[in-house]
Chains A and B, each alone.
Chain A
Amino acid sequence: MTTTEYPPQTERAIAHADNAGTPAIALENLSHDYGTRRALDGLSFTVHPGEIFGLLGPNGSGKTTLFRILSTLMMPTGGSARIAGFSVTAEPTRARQASGIVFQARSLDLKLTVAENLMHQGHLYGLSGALLKQRSQQVLARVGLSDRAGDLVETLSGGQQRRVELAKGLIHSPALLLLDEPSTGLDPGARRDLWQYLRILRDEQGVSVLVTTHLMEEAEHCDRLAILNSGKLVALGAPAELKAQIGGDVVQLETVSPWAAAQLAQKVQQRFSVAATVVGATVRLEREHGHRFLTEVVEAFPGEIEGVSVARPSLEDVFIQRTGHRFWTDTSPDAAGATTPRKEKH
C-alpha cells in the first residue's frame, strides 16, 4: 500500500457535477450519413444534468449511430453534439473525460482479473496510485463484486461481467454515464439491479445517464425519453407525459385481413367520427371511456370483428401514433425477443 499524495492532475479526472447549468448532452441538428444512407436526420434535443434519459427505437433507428458519435468513436457528417459543453468533434478529449461509457459488447479483458481491468481503465482516465486503488474498491463495492476483485474476468458469469463493465464506466466518477443496451443478456433480476444502481447514481451523485434501448418496459424507467424512428426524433418527453398525449384509451379491433381492417376502419370513422388507423389486420383508435365505446362498436358491426382489446396507452401506442406503424416492422423473428443478445458490428 502506498500513501502517495494524489497528483494534482487526478483532480481533473474526478468530474464533479459542478456545471449544473450546462446540459449533460446537447444535440443540434445532428445528422449522419453512411454513404448515401441517412442514419441520423437532424436530431436536436438536450439531456439535463441529473436525469436518466432513454433513447428508444427499433433496430436500425439510429441509436447505435448516435451512441458512436456520443462516445467520440465516429465523427458526425453534420450538425453538432456536445457533452458537458464540449464538442465531440472539436474537443473529444474533454468530452471523453466527462463521460463514462458502457458498451453493449463486452470490453473487458478476460485474461486479466477484475481489479486489473479496473486499474487499466483508471490509467486510461488519468487516475493512478492510491486514489485509483480507492476508486476501484468503491466502484466494485457499489456493484457488489468486492469479493471477486482478484478473479480472472473469464471466470465470472455474464451478469457479473456486465456489472464489472458498469464499474469500469464509473471508475473516474463521470458526470454522465452512457450505456448502450445495458440489459442485453441480463436476466430479469440482474436487470432490476442495474436500474436500481442507475437510480442511486442519479439520486446520490447527480449523475446524468443516457440509456439506449429497444425495450418498451425499460424505457418506462427513464425520466425522459427520446423516441427515434429511421434516424428522426418522433417523440420527446417523460413516459407518462407522452402516453397522456394519447386521448383516452387505446382500442384495437382485430379483423380477418388487412383488407377487412381497412373496410372496417372506414365504416367506424363514418359512424363514430373518430380517427382510426390500420396496422396489419387490426384497426386501432384512441377514445375516452374505451369500454363503453367497445360495446357500441361491436354491436354496430357484428361479424366483422374477430377480437377486441382496450388498454391504457403504452409507449408502443405512442410510437404507432407518431409513425403510423408498429415498433417491430421488420420480419426478423428475434426482433421481439427482448432477451436475445444481439451481436452487432461496431
Chain B
Amino acid sequence: MATATLPAQTRSNLASASVWIPAYSLWRRELVRFYRQKARVVGVIASPLLFWVVLGSGFANSFRHAGPGAAATADQGISAHYLGYFYPGAIVMIVLFTAIFSMMSLIQDRNEGFLLSVLAAPIRRSAIVLGKVLGGATLAAIQGWVFLVFAPLAGVHTSFAGILYSMAVIVLASFSLTALGFAIAWPMDSTQAFHAVINIILIPLWLLSGSMFPASGASGWLRWIMLANPLTYTVDALRNGLFPAQPTDFSAAVNLIVSLGFCAVAFAASWAIVNRRTNKPAA
C-alpha cells in the first residue's frame, strides 16, 4: 500500500510543489522498485563480494609468484596485504555497479513510457535529476556501507572517525557516479548502447582509478590517465579513511577537493542535459 508517510511539513511555496515533492516521490520510487526486485538486492551484494575475494586472491597469488624467493609466511602476508589494498577499490566498484544499474532504469523508464508522464508534468526538470540521482545514490551508498562490514577481513585498522569519514566518502562517490550515470543514460534510448558505454568508459574509469594498482607504480601515459581520472582521488580518499597509517598517493585535502569537484561537475552535467527543450521528440 502507498499509504506511507507523506511529508507533513509540506510548505506552501512553489519550490516545494514543483521540486521537492516530485523529487521525494521519484526518490521513493527508486527504493521501492529496488526492494521489490529481490534478484537486484542479492546480485548487488553478492557479485562485488565474489569479485573482491576471487580476483583479489588471484592477484595476490600472482604477486606472490612474482617474488620467487618469498617464504610461506611472507606469502600470506602479501596475500592479505593485496586484499587490503584492493578493498577500497572493491567498495568503489560496488558503488559504481549500483549507480550504473539504477541509472539504467532511466532508459527503461523512457522506453516503458513512465518518463513521458514525468516530463509532461508541471515540475522543474531539476526535480527529475534530484529524485533519480538521490534514489540511485541512496542505494549505492547503502550497498557501499554494507560492504564496510567486511573491513576487519581486509585488515582494516582504523578509528571510529576513520569509518565515519569512509562512509562520507562513499556517499560522495555514490552521488558523483550516479549523476555521471544519469548524464550518460539520459540521451540514450537503448540499454545495449548503455552497456557499450559501461565497457568503454565506466569500467576503465574504475580500472584506472588506483583500485587495482597504485598510480605511483604506473608508468608513462597510464600514470597520466590515472592522475586525470577523478575517481583516482575518490579511491585514495577512501584509503585515507580506512588505512590512516599507510601513506597515500595524494594528500587527504587534495583527494577531498577533487572528489567534491567531480561530484559538482557530474551534477551540473545532469542538470544541463535535462533542461534542454527542443523541437525534436522529447521521449
CB neighbours (8 Å) of B219 from chain A are none
Q: B116, A105: Cβ atoms under 8 Å? A: yes
The distance in angstroms between the C-alpha atoms of A128 and B2, with both chains bound, is 12
Given A108-B114, A112-B33, the answer on whether A8 and B283 have CB atoms closer than 8 Å is no
Question: Bound complex: CA of A99 vs CA of B246, how far in Å?
Answer: 61
B29 near A103 (CB under 8 angstroms)? no
Give A126 to B23 CA distance when docked, in angstroms.
11
CA distance A112 to B12 in the complex (A): 28
Report yes or no: A107 in contact with B279, Cβ–Cβ below 8 A: no
Which B157-207 residues have a C-beta within 8 angstroms of A?
none
The answer to whether A124 touches B25, judged by C-beta atoms less than 8 angstroms apart, is yes
Question: Are the C-beta atoms of B32 and A119 separated by less than 8 Å?
Answer: no
The answer on a CB contact under 8 Å between A94 and B7 is no
Residue B117 at the chain A interface, CB threshold 8 Å: yes
The interface residues of chain A lying within 8 Å CB-to-CB of B14 are 9
Q: How far is the CB of A290 from chain B (nearest CB, A)?
A: 45
B116 & A73 in contact (Cβ 8 Å cutoff) = yes
Name B116-163 residues within 8 Å CB distance of A.
116-123
Given contacts A116-B32, A120-B29, contact A74 B116 (CB under 8 A): no
B265-283 residues with Cβ-Cβ distance < 8 A to A are: 277-283
Q: A9-B16, A96-B120 are in contact. Are A113 and B113 (CB under 8 A)?
A: no
A94 CA / B18 CA spacing, docked (Å): 12
Q: Are B25 and A123 in contact, with the CB atoms below 8 A?
A: yes
Q: Does B73 contact A (CB under 8 A)?
A: no
A123 x B18 contact (CB < 8 A): no
Instruction: Decide: A125 near B116, CB < 8 A? Known: A73-B283, A120-B25.
Output: no
B37 pairs with A75, CB closer than 8 A: no
Q: Which residues of B contact A124 (CB under 8 A)?
A: 22, 25, 117-118, 121-123
> Can you name the residue of chain A whose Cβ is closest to the Cβ of B277?
A75
B66 at the interface (CB under 8 A from A): no
Given A115-B2, A119-B2: A93 and B122 interface contact (C-beta under 8 Å): yes
Pick the contact of B114 from A101, A109, A118, A126 — CB < 8 Å?
A109
Indicate if B59 sits at the interface (CB-CB under 8 A): no
Which chain B residues border A103 with CB–CB below 8 Å? Answer: 113, 116-117
Q: In the complex, A18 Cα to B21 Cα: how many Å?
A: 27
Q: Does B50 contact A (CB under 8 A)?
A: no
Q: Are A128 and B281 in contact (CB under 8 A)?
A: no
CB closest residue in chain B, given A101: B120
Interface: A76 (CB within 8 A): yes
Q: How many angstroms from the CA of A111 to the CA of B114 in the assembled complex?
A: 12
A112 engages B32 (CB within 8 Å): yes
CB-based contact B1/A346 at 8 Å: no
Among A164-210, those with CB < 8 Å from B are 168
In whole angstroms, how far apart are the Cα atoms of A7 and B8 in the complex? 10
Contact A7 B117 (CB under 8 A): no
Q: Are A126 and B277 in contact (CB under 8 A)?
A: no
Known: A105-B116, A106-B112, A132-B6. A115 touches B279 (CB 8 A): no
Q: Which residue of B lies closest to A72 (CB)?
A: B120
Interface presence of B101 (CB below 8 A): no
A126 vs B18: C-alpha distance when bound (angstroms):
7
User: From residue B25, how far is it (CB to closest CB) to chain A in Å?
Assistant: 4
Q: How far is the CA of A129 from the CA of B120 in the complex (A)?
A: 22
Cross-chain contact A115 with B117 (CB below 8 angstroms): no
* A325: Cβ under 8 A from any B Cβ: no
User: A341 at the A/B interface (Cβ < 8 Å)?
Assistant: no
Give the contacting residue for B12; candidates A8, A111, A150; CB below 8 A. A8
The reply to whether A111 and B117 form a contact with Cβ atoms under 8 Å apart is no
User: In the complex, what's the smallest C-beta–C-beta distance from B112 to chain A, in angstroms?
Assistant: 7
CB within 8 A of B283: which of A75, A109, A120, A346? A346
Instruction: Say yes or no: B32 contacts A111, CB within 8 Å.
Output: yes
- CB pair A74–B280 under 8 Å, yes or no, is yes
Chain B residue numbers with a CB within 8 Å of A125 are: 121-122
Q: In the bound complex, how far is the Cα of B13 from the Cα of A187, in angstroms?
A: 44
Nearest-Cβ distance from residue A77 to partner chain B, whole angstroms: 5
With contact pairs A132-B6, A150-B1 given, residues A111 and B36 touching in the complex (Cβ less than 8 Å): yes
User: Are the C-beta atoms of A346 and B2 separated by less than 8 Å?
Assistant: no
Report the Cα distance A123→B22, complex, angstroms.
5
Contact A113 B2 (CB under 8 A): yes
Q: Are A107 and B36 in contact (CB under 8 A)?
A: no
Within 8 Å of chain B (Cβ to Cβ): is A273?
no
Q: Which residues of A (60-92) have their CB < 8 Å from a CB of B?
A: 68, 71-77, 92
Question: For residue A96, which residue of chain B has the nearest CB?
Answer: B122
Measured CA separation A168–B278 after assembly (Å): 26
CA–CA, A92 and B120, complex, Å: 9
| B96-126 Cβ-contact flags toward A at 8 Å (1 or 0) | 0000000000000000111011111111000
Give CA–CA (A71, B122) in the complex, Å: 11
Tell me if B62 counts as interface (CB < 8 A to partner A): no
In the bound assembly, the distance between CA atoms of A146 and B87 in angstroms comes to: 51
11 example contacts (A-B, Cβ-Cβ < 8 A) are as follows A7-B10, A74-B278, A107-B113, A109-B29, A109-B114, A110-B112, A112-B33, A113-B1, A124-B25, A125-B121, A129-B10
Q: A residues engaging B (CB < 8 A)?
A: 2, 4, 7-10, 12-13, 32, 34, 68, 71-77, 92-94, 96-97, 101, 103, 105-113, 115-116, 118-121, 123-126, 128-129, 132-133, 149-150, 168, 345-346
